[in-house]
Amino acid sequence: MVDLYPSLAQCAIVATAFKVLLFPAYKSTDFEVHRNWLAVTHSLPVKEWYYEKTSEWTLDYPPFFAVFEWLLSQAAQYADPAMLIVKNLNYDSWHTIYFQRATVILSELVLLFALSRFVKSAPQSTKQLAHISSLSILLSPGLLIIDHIHFQYNGFMYGVLILSIVLARKQSTLLYSGITFAILLCMKHIHLYLSLAYFVYLLRTYCLDPKSVFRPRFGNIIKLGLGVIGVFAIAFGPFAYWNQLLQLKDRLFPFSRGLCHAYWAPNIWAIYSLADRVLISLGPRLGFSVNQEALTSVTRGLVGDTSFAVLPEVTKEHTFALTFLFQLLPLIKLWRSPGDWDAFVGAITLCGYASFLFGWHVHEKAVLLIIIPFSLIALRDRRYFSAFRPLAIAGHVSLFPLLFTAAEFPIKTVYTILWLVLFLFVFEQVAPVPDRPRIFPIVDRFSVLYLAVAIPLIVYCSLVHQLIFGLERYEFLPLMFMSSYSALGVVGSWVGFMVVYFTA
């Protein structure tokens, strides 16, 4: 008999109590972004949703998310009608805050439902492991920081993602998995990064015969095709009818932004930028030519075009090529193992990794795109777990710069440390021994060392740096340290997981 205590619902209740207490906490401009979308969807006809630009935070999510906002706005008028006026920029009355924060908590019920389905879908022997992974996702510090303090609706959308992953577990529900994922794409297009894994898996497992690639199952192809096209038709059809698709494209894919986001998401480009900075000081001695124009650029490393002083420029095409290449590798293996759900989740994770590490203008928030699918399989055995560990540390630490106010500092650090100590310890205890020996046992030593560096680094970045240099001088330094440190962890965990994935 397995003990599933504390249950998901119990954790959700206590976590909800904590989240309600965080109502008055810091909220980023994303709060205003979503308030504006409530106002836009409520007070304008659908035709004008993607043309409205009173606020600088124009609607840039796909139509289903806009519909979701419209649904919320139907309830919002009872909370405070003033928040639904497009001209009320930066409106944040107490009722608005209560309402919007409460919708985040309520919409997270989708995540709770998906996780409980995940636990149910797990075979009896791994039920407890599935339960522990679900708890780690439900209580994730990433979701707490991004959704409940910073303000977004990720918990809801990752709930839909997990639901579609769980539906892919059984042959009979594969069709619904595909449709659910299509719906998710029409809510937040960042999940396009994962779509190749879905495409390959559904094609190989659902549309073709598992035994032979050359025997297509036409019935399935038609069902899936109709389902997915139907979803997209419902989402984009009206806009196509009004000839607005180009406008939607401009809104959804704003390519005018720079390579790195303001805070330098911990990916390859953060390491690249760091190398560039180091070379600026070393360059003259080593005989490199330093691009003086890039050196004086004010926006270096901030929003806008990043230019590198020593290293070659990186273009969008480069990033796409690299992303595609590194997504392709796991997909080959996925193609060759039809019906292997673990390989599917692994491929989703690796697609997430590739797009996060090599993508153009990646947000640090996108790290959840890796962490959440990975959590579902992190407890498969100890090799998976040892690849997961540096990611769990780096991914969450890299979110810290999102919250920079003093009052939220104890919350983000203590909560993350609590989560890391609790779940890394529990994972360590319960992760089963793998069938085959590990290839690089040295990786474990590395990850212990990596963990040990985290605490002095956080202390330096949040306290010591200010004491030494004050608030103004070298303010980029802590951010750079944090993102390079986290980038190292994410890259390390990616390499580790690639090895595990291909040798599993």
Partner 1 sequence: MPLPPSSYRPRKKRKLSLSSSGSNNALIVDTGNDKHIPAFPLVSFLWAARAGVSQWLVLPLILMAVGLFRWAVSLWGYSGFQVPPMHGDFEAQRHWMEITIHLPMSKWYTYDLQYWGLDYPPLTAYHSWFLGKIGTLFDPSWFALDESRGLEDPRLKVFMRATVIVSEYLIYIPAVVNFLRRYTQMHGVPVWSASIALAAILLQPSTILIDHGHFQYNTVMLGLVVASLDAILAGRMLWACIFFVGALGFKQMALYYAPVMFVFLLGICVFPRRILIIRLLCISMVTIAAFTVLIAPLVVGAVSTDGRNDLFSVPLPPLLQALPIELDKNSILYAPLLQLAQVIHRVFPFARGLFEDKVANAWCAIHTFYKLHRFETTLLQRVSLGATLASILIPCCIIFRHPRASFLLPALSTVAWGFFLFSFQVHEKSVLLPLLPMTLLLAGDGGLSKETRAWVGWANMLGSWTMFPLLQRDGLRVPYFVMTFLWAYLLGLPPTSWEIYRSRPSSDDSNSPHEPHMFTKLLHSCFYLAMVAWHVLEAFVPPPLGKPDLWVVLNVLIGAGGFGLAYLWCLRKLLLQWWMIGSKVPTEQDPRKKNQ
411 binds partner 1 (CB under 8 A): yes
Residue 313 touching partner 1 (CB under 8 A):
no
Given candidates 125, 312, 437, 449, which one binds partner 1 under the rule CB under 8 A? 437
**CA–CA separation, 448 vs 446, rounded Å?**
5
Q: Does 7 participate in binding partner 1 (rule CB under 8 A)?
A: yes
How far apart, in Å, are the Cα atoms of 136 and each of 11, 390, 397, 427, 433?
A: 10, 15, 16, 10, 20
State the minimum distance, in angstroms, from the CB of residue 25 to partner 1: 6
Taking residue 183's Cβ as centre, other Cβ atoms within 10 Å add up to 19
Q: Is residue 449 a contact point for partner 1 (CB under 8 A)? A: no
Is 315 buried (19+), middle (13-18) or exposed (0-12) by CB count in 10 A?
A: exposed
Q: Give the bridge partners for 216, in sequence order.
A: 208
DSSP secondary structure, 319-349, as one string: HHHHHHHHHHHHHHHHHHSTT-HHHHHHHHH
The residue range among 46-54, 72-80, 283-291, 418-426 that interacts with partner 1, by the rule CB under 8 A, is: 418-426
Q: Rule CB under 8 A: say whether 468 interacts with partner 1.
A: no
Strand-pair partners of 362: 260
If binding is defined by CB under 8 A, does position 287 make contact with partner 1?
no
Q: Say whether residue 3 binds partner 1 (CB under 8 A).
A: yes
| Sequence-separated (6 or more) residues with CB below 8 Å from residue 47 | 242, 244
Exposure string of 26-53, with b = 16+ CB inside 10 Å and e = fewer, is bbeebbbbbbbbbbbbbeeeeeebbebe
Size of the site for partner 1 (CB under 8 A): 39
State the minimum distance, in angstroms, from the CB of residue 410 to partner 1.
Answer: 5
| Residue 414 near partner 1 by CB under 8 A | yes
Q: Is residue 406 part of the contact set for partner 1 (CB under 8 A)?
A: yes
438 interacts with partner 1 by CB under 8 A: yes
**Interface residue with partner 1, options 22, 234, 252, 451 (CB under 8 A):** 22
Q: Which stretch binds partner 1 (CB under 8 A): 72-80, 355-363, 396-404, 420-428?
A: 420-428
Return the residues of window 354-383 that contact partner 1 according to CB under 8 A.
382
DSSP notation for 104-126:
HHHHTHHHHHHHHHHHHHS-GGG
Residue 429 in contact with partner 1, rule: CB under 8 A:
yes
Closer CB to partner 1, 189 or 382, in the complex: 382
In whole angstroms, give the CA distance from residue 1 to residue 5. 12
- Paired with 208 in beta bridges are 216
State the nearest-atom distance from the C-beta of 291 to partner 1, in Å. 41
Q: How far is the CB of 164 from partner 1 (least distance, A)?
A: 30
Given candidates 298, 433, 449, 471, which one binds partner 1 under the rule CB under 8 A?
433
Residue with the two structure tokens 């419209």: 70
What are the residues binding partner 1 (CB under 8 A)? 1, 3, 5-7, 10, 13-14, 17-18, 20-25, 382, 386, 406-407, 410-411, 414-415, 417-418, 421-422, 425-426, 428-429, 433-434, 437-438, 441, 444-445
